[in-house]
Amino acid sequence: MEKQKNLERKTIKEWIKYIQEKIRNNSDYDSVYEEYKIFLENKLKEKPKNVEVVCQLAAVYNELTYQWEDIYKLLNEFIKKYENELTDEEKSRIYTNLGYYYDDQRDGSKRAIRTLRKAVAFNPNNSKAYYGLGADYYGAGKYDKSEEMYKKACELENNPIYKFEYANLLMVNGKYEEAKIILEELIKKDFEFGKEDFAKIKYSYIANKVQLKEFINIEAQIDELMLENIDNDYFFGSDLESLYYLSENYKKLVGIYLKIDTQEDCQVPYEELPIYFYSLKRLDKFDKLEKSFEKALKFKNEEIESIKNGEFLTECTKSYKKEEIREIKRQIKNLKVEYEKY
């Protein structure tokens, strides 16, 4: 019966509405995507030049276990076959989608950047392509170029998410006053964001104030953000604790870490130990610093012994475990350096 109802859906709009309902109800919608895929493939046979259909089909491949090669083949063959019959805006849309799929993690793929540049060449008003370029240039470590692309995206479209990423990039480039203007605008528009996105905006807003040394009421704002996001998987403790560190509230920071450190079987995460050690020194808690350092070394040495005593299944496993031990020894060396600083 359910399958028959799915087949009765005649338009993409009807399918999208139905899928959205399934997602809202937390249903198992993989089977729905499979049916939608069949619907789109049949539509593409009927109308092989339909850009909306091919873009929707690529999106379905993406949902179905990230079928990257199928996506690349689908979009590349489509644009190659119908290039002379598509409008510039349609070509731009295809290249934008392809560029996003080429680098879904935004690591700065050269192929993604080349493809998105084609998108803006065909349509200079394509804000989504400029936004993607901003993310990819950031992933490639080209922050000035990233800033340029984000700025262009914001000029073309009044999109709060674009503005947020642009503000973050301005902070990366040390332009805190410019970032402040944007973040102060966004912080007043919580109704436009989901809870998680607004938490990110509040975090950046506070972090930017810290960089500008605007410490008035800053502790209360950090406390509020921490309480609001106790159950928010987006935030790691270190994200919020770093705000106390940057605002030089070492007492508050040490208080948080002591709750972990005083538990016999718990350890402050390795990557957070440097700021914990530094904060203890700033508070003249040298006895506690020594105990924390010794405890950290003990945990690391136990990790090495645990790896050494594990069963070796293959030569590959042996090589991997040797590499793991080398990494832990490197961490121990770094801990000693941090402990002896200042």
H helix intervals, the chain? 2-8, 12-24, 30-46, 51-63, 68-82, 88-102, 110-122, 127-139, 143-156, 160-172, 176-186, 195-211, 218-228, 237-246, 250-261, 273-282, 286-308, 315-340
Domain boundary among 86, 115, 146: 86
For residue 155, what are its two tokens?
A: 């000029």
Please state at what angle helix 273-282 crosses helix 237-246, rounded to 10 degrees. 30
18 in any annotated domain: yes
Across 62-66, 187-191, 234-238, 269-273, which has the greatest mean pLDDT? Answer: 269-273
246 in any annotated domain: no
Question: Domain limits at 341?
Answer: 263-342
Is 309's pLDDT higher than 50? yes
Structural contact between residues 98 and 78, judged by C-beta atoms closer than 8 angstroms: no
**Which is more confident, 268 or 32?**
268
What mean pLDDT, rounded, does the chain reach? 86
CA-nearest of 103, 53, 89 to 74 is 53
Is 302's pLDDT higher than 80? yes
Is 281 buried (19+), middle (13-18) or exposed (0-12) by CB count in 10 A? Answer: middle
Cα 258 from Cα 338, distance rounded (Å): 18
Residue 10, pLDDT score: 64
**Which is more confident, 90 or 246?**
90
200 in any annotated domain: no
268 in any annotated domain: yes
328 in any annotated domain: yes
CA-nearest of 232, 173, 174 to 203 is 232
Residue 1, pLDDT score: 42
Structural contact between residues 332 and 295, judged by C-beta atoms closer than 8 angstroms: no
Chain centroid offset of residue 14 CA: 31
Is 4's pLDDT higher than 50? no
102 in any annotated domain: no
Rounded percentage of the chain residues whose pLDDT exceeds 70: 87
Residue 269 binned pLDDT confidence (cut-offs 50, 70, 90): confident
């200079």: which residue's tokens?
Answer: 124
Q: Which pairs count as long-range contacts for 89-92, CB under 8 Å and 24+ apart, including other chains? A: 89/122, 89/123, 90/51, 91/118, 91/119, 91/122, 91/123, 92/118, 92/119, 92/120, 92/122, 92/123, 92/126, 92/129
The pTM of this model reads: 0.75
Mean pLDDT (whole number) for 217-221:
89
Cα 97 from Cα 109, distance rounded (Å): 14
Domain boundary among 86, 116, 151: 86
Residue 172, pLDDT score: 93
Residue 25 binned pLDDT confidence (cut-offs 50, 70, 90): low
Structural contact between residues 86 and 55, judged by C-beta atoms closer than 8 angstroms: no
Across 33-42, 116-125, 266-275, which has the greatest mean pLDDT? Answer: 116-125
Is 286's pLDDT higher than 70? yes
Is 239's pLDDT higher than 90? no
Domain count, the chain: 2
Residue 314, pLDDT score: 52
226 in any annotated domain: no
Q: Which helix (H) or strand (E) holds 258?
A: helix 250-261
* Sheet strands (E) in 185-228: none
26 in any annotated domain: yes
Cα 133 from Cα 123, distance rounded (Å): 14
Domain boundary among 52, 86, 120: 86
